[in-house]
Amino acid sequence: MAEPTVVACLHVQSESLAKGRPVQQSSVYNRRGPETAINGESSGDGEAMCIHTQRDQCPWWEVDLGRLAVINTIEIWNREDIPIDLSQGEDYFTKRLFPCWILVSTDPFPEGTSGQVLNDSANMAVARVKMTKDKRRTTWELPTNSVGRYVRIMLEGTNYLHFAQCNVYGTWGVHRSVGRVSDVYCGKNLF
């Protein structure tokens, strides 16, 4: 009698669901439009490599995935250059991204820039998180089975919003998984 073989297949999401999807932002500074954040280039070495809004109250950037998806992870790559005037501090550009909110919704978010728009957007979100730590790459593992179509990154307060890339990983559709897996074993006769 042949020995049973145990095979485990893991699907690794390698391409962002946001790539090539419609994007918008609350305003545009110096022709740094929203498309830059979904072009696959995470280098934030200078303003030209980033999306950039005007100095607004609660500015935002968002992507419409075009259809519902179970979203597992959202990753934001921050700007990484330092100002020429070092008296401003090396983190002068990078700290502008924080505090920010990452919001996921099944319906379109409201337009406009204000504390009220942030509040309304957060209230309608199916999943949301406030990020406060200045990092080059910010990663959010969403609650299991978070279904959404719209992803918005929104600053808290008045400032410029700029970052290099936003990747959204997950699975198209609303088929919910059984949850995160803690252990996977591959091979013969493991038990």
- pLDDT (0 to 100) of residue 175: 76
DSSP 24: E
CA pair distance 44, 188, nearest whole angstrom: 45
For the chain, domains (ranges, CATH) are 14-172 (2.60.120.260)
Residues of the chain scoring pLDDT < 50: 4-11
pLDDT digits (tens, 9 = 90+) for 36-58: 999 999 999 999 999 999 999 99
Buried b (16+ CB within 10 A) or exposed e, 84-99: eeeeeeeeebbebbbe
pLDDT digits (tens, 9 = 90+) for 13-38: 579 999 999 999 999 999 999 999 99
- pLDDT (0 to 100) of residue 186: 61
Q: How do strand 60-77 and strand 23-25 relate by DSSP bridges?
A: antiparallel
- pLDDT (0 to 100) of residue 121: 98
- pLDDT (0 to 100) of residue 189: 62
The closest alpha carbon to 145, from 173, 124, 119, belongs to 173
